[in-house]
């Protein structure tokens, strides 16, 4: 009973909690303690907060645009000032745009939202995280050029040249013919590079990544054509029976379990069933992961604090 009481006293930070996997995960986390909801839309955040509190849980809302580094850092400061005992941080927010767009800093929107923003957010919170806290990133196996299901879907793995190139929306030759695929795969590889590198660098915390599986019913592909979105959601109940497929509800249970897991596991990449899996050979190389993180930090350093 005492252990359960301690768990209930913890707070769990989640980005992108207003739809899809993030929404379902926020509801799951409500049974583990206070939930800190971080997203762009205050009205939508308030709706999720009300739902959690109606169910007897506790929640706080923090407005932030994960593609805007200034907004991300401001949100981290706000969370630190809440005075909560943080059990973990979940970087869930992500996009897969099919048309090029730029962030407030002028960087490719997918790279900024899926990698640079979450990295800045996590690093800003590291100083206030107690020993043993978990920091989880939602990754994607499409970063691996040898992942068959990803190749069949048109991905060609991460096309990382450098952080500066990715921020400009430039990728190595031989990539996907599908719009946005290279940007998504490359940015999601950044999540794995971050987890693997920080696990070695900061042993007092536990860094983990989760591949949530193929989720046709999620809101990730919201920029795709309407007929494709409708078809994906309609087929979701049948596709979940196939290998690598999941649903937002099922993925949420796996993610919440990984985030609240009290073990000392760190530098681990989990699949859609919550089992350890292998990342690509490229990002599994410590030198490569460290370079990816180093270059990303150098890019973030160009954004002045508080401006």
Whole-number mean pLDDT of the chain? 91
What per-residue confidence (pLDDT) applies to 305? 83
Supply φ then ψ for residue 162, to 5 degrees.
Answer: -160, 165
* Mean pLDDT across 248-257: 96
- Kindly report the pTM of this predicted structure: 0.90
Please write the tens of the pLDDT for every residue from 116-166: 999 999 999 999 999 999 999 999 999 999 999 899 889 999 999 999 999
- Of the listed ranges 17-26, 62-71, 91-100, 229-238, the one predicted with least confidence: 229-238
Of residues 236 and 285, more confidence is placed in 285
Please write the tens of the pLDDT for every residue from 264-293: 999 999 999 999 999 999 999 999 999 999
Sorting pLDDT into bands at 50, 70 and 90, what band is 245?
A: confident
- Residues 217, 247: contact at Cβ < 8 Å? yes
What per-residue confidence (pLDDT) applies to 41? 98
Sorting pLDDT into bands at 50, 70 and 90, what band is 237?
A: low
pLDDT higher than threshold 60 for residue 36: yes
pLDDT higher than threshold 80 for residue 246: no
Q: Where are the domains of the chain?
A: 2-300
- The fraction of the chain above a pLDDT of 90, given in percent, is 84
Q: Which of 170, 139, 171 is nearest to 156 (CA)?
A: 171
- Residue for token pair 């059990």: 87
- Of the listed ranges 65-79, 152-166, 235-249, the one predicted with least confidence: 235-249
What per-residue confidence (pLDDT) applies to 262? 97
Of residues 119 and 8, more confidence is placed in 119
* Mean pLDDT across 224-235: 43
* Mean pLDDT across 213-229: 53
CATH number of 2-300, picked from 3.40.50.300, 3.40.50.720, 1.10.3720.10, 3.40.50.2300: 3.40.50.720
What per-residue confidence (pLDDT) applies to 231? 36
pLDDT higher than threshold 80 for residue 217: no
Q: Which two tokens stand for residue 275?
A: 């089992």
């Amino acid at each position: 009973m005492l252990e359960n009481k301690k768990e209930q006293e913890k707070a769990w930070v989640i980005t992108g909690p207003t739809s899809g996997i993030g929404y379902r995960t926020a509801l799951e986390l409500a049974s583990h303690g206070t939930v800190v909801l971080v997203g762009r839309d205050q009205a939508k955040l308030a709706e999720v907060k009300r739902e959690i509190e109606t169910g007897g849980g506790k929640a706080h809302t923090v407005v932030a645009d994960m593609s805007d580094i200034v907004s991300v850092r401001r949100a981290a400061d706000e969370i630190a000032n809440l005075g909560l005992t943080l059990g973990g941080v979940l970087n869930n927010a992500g996009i897969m745009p099919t048309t090029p767009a730029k962030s407030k800093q002028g960087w490719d929107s997918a790279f900024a939202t899926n990698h640079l923003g979450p990295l800045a957010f996590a690093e800003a919170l590291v100083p206030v995280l107690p020993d043993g806290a978990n920091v989880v990133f939602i990754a994607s196996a499409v970063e691996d050029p040898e992942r068959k299901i990803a190749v069949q879907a048109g991905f060609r793995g991460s096309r990382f040249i450098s952080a500066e190139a990715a921020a400009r929306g430039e990728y190595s030759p031989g990539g996907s013919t599908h719009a946005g695929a290279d940007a998504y795969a490359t940015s999601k590889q950044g999540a794995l590079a971050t987890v693997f590198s920080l696990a070695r660098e900061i042993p007092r915390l536990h860094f983990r990544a989760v591949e949530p599986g193929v989720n046709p019913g999620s809101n990730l592909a919201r920029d795709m054509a309407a007929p494709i979105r409708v078809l994906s959601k309609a087929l979701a109940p049948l596709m979940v029976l196939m290998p690598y497929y999941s649903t937002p509800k099922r993925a949420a249970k796996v993610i919440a379990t990984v985030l609240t897991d009290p073990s000392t596991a760190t530098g681990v990449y989990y699949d859609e069933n919550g089992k350890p899996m292998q990342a690509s050979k490229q990002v599994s190389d410590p030198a490569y992961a460290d370079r990816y993180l180093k270059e990303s930090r150098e890019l973030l350093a160009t954004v002045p604090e508080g401006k």
